[in-house]
Amino acid sequence: MKVTIAAKLVSILVEAGVKRVHGVVGDSLNGIVDEIRRNSNIEWIHYRHEEAAAFAAGAEAQLTGKLAVCAGSCGPGNLHLINGLYDCHRSSAPVLAIAAHIPSSEIGTGYFQETHPELLFRECSHYCEMIFSLNQVPRVPHIAMQHAIGMRGVAVIGLSGDVAMEEIEDTPLPYFLADMPLVRPSDEGLDKLADSIYKADKITLLCGSGCAGAHGELIALAKKIHSPMVHALRGKEHVEYENPYDVGMTGLIGFASGYHAMEESDLLIMLGTDFPYKDWYPSKSAIIQVDIRPERLGRRCRIDLGLVGDVAQTIKALLPLIEQKRDSSFLERCIARYQKSRAILDADAMEKSGGTIIHPEYLTKVINEKVAQNAIFTVDVGTPTVWAARYLKMTEGRRLIGSFSHGSMANAMPQAIGAQLEFPERQVIALCGDGGFAMLMGEILTIRQYNLPVKIVVFNNSSLGFVAMEMKVAGLPPFGTDLDNPDFALMAEVMGIVGIRVETPEEVAPAIEKALAYNGPVVINALVNPTELSMPPKVELSQARGFGVYMLKQILNGEGGEVWQTLDSNFLNR
């Protein structure tokens, strides 16, 4: 029996457990899209922009750990996928991208919409190949999926629309990789790790996204060696909850307690983290790194020992080799410092009676208190990520995703679409910056079209706030960061979506409650303090000097009102 390549490709996706394909239709995709229409076991999700489709697929893959798929038509269509695919790849999300191509007879002629997908996607994928012949199917799609799942990242296949309509024999499907191996370091490596732990008095664990599924093992290890546990941003959802050893996050948007727990250690053990900021690593500690990806060992900082292994399996094998530590004084000091840091941050999130300014810390705190214990949060890059990192409290059932490695704007809303499609019964909350929301604002129509009950909270400070703060720290007055926004709530209402405008602190809790109670999409336009500062856990002298220069320049330029508002809303009236 013969079938078209398009039909075979769709059947392969179904056999692999793919539930949907995210994308935008186009004539070069017609054969594939029509086969999806014919197949009741898979659906096509239509977006307004292919970048959003890639973000959504990435969210689905991150939340499930399973293969997700996006597609774009020839030329500009699949080119629009590329930023979202970069994010998927750097987030280790197993995503297959289908890049349709121009008619095969026109390749190499400079034809209308011609690009070279095999070159364009090379930097954001583990595998990127074109299908030029019917003899390549089903092998190439199978190899692509093996790469995406086995190597945890993006794989791309490109094919022309006419090639997709060629007929092939419907041969049996090849073996599909479903289970990953259990990997731990060698006995020799584990012995070295155990010996280093035996000799150290002050041990700190730095935990990243590679700690997913290892919560119990982490607690057991920390208990046995009396170790404080610091998490990187992508480790927060896997480490923070029900953890008496957690002392907060490190990095620019982290806690002072996390920074000091690392700096004052004599041994730092990095577990499943590729934390990229070298200035935040301890200056004198011995450092051991454990990661499933060998190429990551030692690429961020000097290490004394590098071990390849899954975090959970490594700890399981390590625990019998180490003795119970007796001295818990270092752990106790780190926990006391964390409690102090936490109290300071929590005080910043308290609203004074009669206040008129909505501080984003307070807004995030209320969201955290009102949403379900298994809610899914998607977070835009910039200040929403700062407030999420500091004020969203993870539980065993909650998830937190964002563009934490790629750092792209406009990720939160399309990622929320992917999350809500996969988990229709769970609360999905998108914490959006006003700049990020506006950048891919057309996807609010996708949410409306599928009536997805996503709750979008826009932190509207009429500014690219994080960029403005970076300019201030550099001693520069903000320029090119102002945003003249419409009323996003009113805009949503015109589109047929519930919109809620929030202008004062006392309106925050009722607005969140109303949004969560409504069975449908909601846009909350929250007018937050435009001059809010997100202070890092350690402040360099150059940063303080730069901020002082900025304030002096603004006063001399006649912008003293902005300086006063910054001081008043961040220090004098808190």
Is the distance from CB of 378 to CB of 431 less than 8 angstroms?
Answer: yes
> Is residue 112 annotated as a catalytic residue, yes or no?
yes
Q: CA-CA distance, 11 to 21, in Å (whole number)?
A: 13
In whole angstroms, what separates CA 47 from the centre of its chain?
20
Task: Name the amino acid, one letter, at 69.
Answer: V
Beta strands in 116-228 (DSSP E): 127-131, 154-160, 167-169, 203-207
- Give the Cβ contact number of residue 235 at 10 Å: 25
Computed from CA positions of residues 510, 513, 517, 521, in that sequence, does the dihedral angle turn out positive or negative? Answer: positive
285 in helix, strand or coil?
coil
Is the distance from CB of 184 to CB of 320 less than 8 angstroms?
Answer: no
Q: What token pair was written down for 399?
A: 């998830």
Buried b (16+ CB within 10 A) or exposed e, 323-350: eebeeeebbebbbebbeebeeebeebbe
No. of H helices and E strands in the chain?
A: 24, 20
From the list 43, 106, 113, 467, the catalytic residue is 113
> Is residue 136 annotated as a catalytic residue, yes or no?
no
From the list 275, 330, 404, 466, the catalytic residue is 466
DSSP string, 475-510: T----S-B-----HHHHHHHTTSEEEEE-SGGGHHH
Q: Which residues pair with 291 in a beta bridge?
A: 308
From the list 230, 247, 381, 473, the catalytic residue is 381
> Is residue 532 annotated as a catalytic residue, yes or no?
no
Q: What token pair was written down for 54?
A: 């890639």
145 in helix, strand or coil?
helix
> Is residue 121 annotated as a catalytic residue, yes or no?
no
- Residue 43: name the closest of 21, 13, 68 by CA: 21
Give start and end residues of each alpha helix (H) in 179-268: 187-199, 215-225, 236-239, 256-263
Q: What token pair was written down for 479?
A: 């320029």
> Is residue 473 annotated as a catalytic residue, yes or no?
no
From the list 35, 50, 60, 351, the catalytic residue is 50
From the list 112, 167, 369, 396, the catalytic residue is 112
Q: CA-CA distance, 78 to 118, in Å (whole number)?
A: 12
283 in helix, strand or coil?
coil
The residues that are catalytic are 50, 112-113, 381, 466
